[in-house]
Structure 1
Amino acid sequence: MSPLFLALIAVAVLAVVFLFVLRARSSPAPPAPEKYQLGDVTVETLRLYNGYDWSKPPLVAVKGKVYDVSNKYELYGPGKPKNAYAGREVARALALDSLEEKDLGADLEGLTPEQLQRLEEAVAEFERTHDHVGQVVPLREFTAAQLGLHDGSDPSLPLYLSIKGVVYDITKGKQYYGPDGIYPFAGKEVARAFALFSTELSDCNDNLEGLSYAEMDNLRDWIGKFNYKYPIVGKLVG
């Protein structure tokens, strides 16, 4: 090849590279990912955010504030050093610098000033490095009458149902449980109905007498599905 031909090839390559660089500089930056928002959550539902469900980020609560720790997956992901914290309230554990199950909680009774100082330093670190995405709230108590208000007849209220006294928010399943759904369970205790695969209103109660092992197994399966899919918001009393 002649020197002139080689020079022309080099000029063409440089021109292509220049165009790519120019286009890269002029392209807008990709939008920042939306911040995950959880809102109010009970400690029972928080347990679902332990890093083992790919559709949910690992979350940690400290003194009632819930933080998204997915940016430190190497610490909080499954099998990682601090995975015991994921899905839990960890104020006491942070104060004690502990990973033990017995120390996972919000109880600060009996801690020394040095341990409380360690906790405050940990809180400051969480505020600096993780997004605050929600707040831990206590379980609400519902009477049967109060639960009944959440049957879908008032569209301004969320849909709730109870299984063995545990109240779930089933609003996102309103196509199944709402006024136009196929299951008449919203606003009711439905343990027996789930065990029997029944949609009879007479079976919407918590009476489990006379059920077979297989029927009790049905109920356990339903409870597992609801624990996975729907937030726990309260308990049925009275």
Structure 2
Amino acid sequence: MKKLSLTSSFHSLPIEVFWYESLQPTTNTVILLKGIYGLHNPHSTDSWDMSLISACKSSYNFICINTARLNGVLSSDTPETFVGKTFEQECEDIQKGFDACMREGYISKEHGIIIVGNSFGGTLLLALPELLQKAEAVIMVGSGCGKSPTTTKPLLVTMPSEEYLLSPLQSYGGTFVFVRGTDDTVVPKESQDKIIASATSARERLVCEIKNAAHNLTGGVFDRTDVLSRLISCCAK
């Protein structure tokens, strides 16, 4: 694993980028975007992202990005560490991470890029049209495109309109996959359906519903890591 440290426009705090090289030569790279306030911990043994990397490391490169948070406390995934940060700044951090990987040669124009956006990670991707259009395939997990009008949560309070978020997806021509649990009580199904319905230009569009699974895909009839690894394999060139 290699790590890059960048500087965010959010109080000039650090952004961390992690690159995991495949055990075998490959031109397939998977970018994992975690949920709201999410943190990638390379030392974790039970997180969904490290479980997926462990299951697929023989065939794919992986990139994870820790966006900037207050006090440089990159070990924290609480809302308090994002107070004052805008949705736009969060998007900028992700774009900076991707651009740095391009400069370092971790990603090239020859690479097939698959982006897995977990919950809010998928929402952020909607607001990053340049990154979206570079992806051969996009896998969203329980993502939404709206917010409560009364929310005061950091990042959510500055989210743009549904129309703004959904517009870039309408011209996306790669493979689009949406995964959700039937027992998701976090993101309204109507909000998820709007994303699915907007992928009108996708080469392929697939909706995968896991019976009895919660928002994070746990508790369902199928294992989360197994489902995502199989979908990545199907999306790869």
Regarding TM over 0.5, the answer is no
Query: Under a length normalisation based on structure 2, what TM-score does the superposition of the two structures give?
Result: 0.27
Q: TM-score, normalised by structure 1?
A: 0.27
Q: Which has the higher strand share?
A: 2
